[in-house]
Every structure is written in C-alpha cells, then in structure tokens.
Amino acid sequence: MVRTARSGGDPSEHAQAVIGRTTRVRGRVSGDGSILIEGNVEGDIAVRGDLTIAEGGRATSSIEADAVTLRGELDGDVRARGLVRIEAGARVRGDITGESVALEEGAEFVGRLDAAFELPAELGGTTGGRRR
C-alpha cells in the first residue's frame, strides 16, 4: 500500500509517499518529493526529496536523496545532498556519502563514511577548516 501526504515535525511525517509495512517493492523507485519506507524495497531509489526508512522498514538498495534518515535496515550505499542520519536501532551495511553524517549511539553501521567535517584543534584541525 502506498499512502500520500503526511504532516508534522518529524522528517518522516513530511513524506509525500509512504510504502506501507505490508508492501514489498521490487525494482527502481524514483520521483520528486519525499518518501517513507515502512515495508520492503529491493532496487535502487532516487528521489528529489527526503527519504526515511522507518523502524521495521528494510531496503536492499542504492539510495540517492536530498537527506536520508535511517531507523530500519539498509543493505546498500547512500548518496545524499544533505544530512544522513543513522538513528539508534538502525542496521546499515554500505558506504555513506553526504554533506554531513550523524551516527547515533546504538546504531549498527558497517561501511565507509564520506562527509565534510571539522577536526577539533587537539586532533590537528584548523579553525574554519573543513576536511573530507
């Protein structure tokens, strides 16, 4: 089941499309707007909007989106134009590329991170310098 139009303060509440818990999608998913995955997706995902994999949701996919929030399971790579947030309880296996990455305690992540960041001065960083 795919539902549309949610509202609220949580990024997943702004989803314009929802792949429901009992839905399984095989194949490429693409579009304009944000999407919430509560079910299972097998195939690449490319959206011009935000993507959230909900707790209990699962994707075996390469993902490209504006921002990505992971609460469920992902086997695949992520390329985000903005923030990638891997929340407590999420299980992620793949490489992550984003403007910034937030990895919460309790999240499980196996892969590489590629994001711009600033090192603290005690680790050799410079004020205002950004590294990749």
Q: In what order do the strands lie in the sheet with 29-32?
A: 29-32, 45-48, 63-65, 78-80, 96-98, 113-115
Percent of the chain with pLDDT over 90: 72
Percent of the chain with pLDDT over 70: 79
CA triplet 3, 30, 89: central angle to 5 degrees? 65
| Banded pLDDT at 122 (limits 50, 70, 90) | confident
Q: pLDDT band at residue 10, thresholds of 50, 70 and 90?
A: low
- Where residue 121 falls among pLDDT bands split at 50, 70, 90? confident
pLDDT band at 8 (very low <50, low <70, confident <90, very high): very low
Q: Which of these, 54, 55, 47, 96, lies nearest to 75 by C-alpha position?
A: 96
**Higher pLDDT among residues 45 and 116, named by residue:** 45
Domain spans, the chain = 2-123
| Mean pLDDT of all residues in 117-128 | 65
Give the pLDDT of residue 104: 94
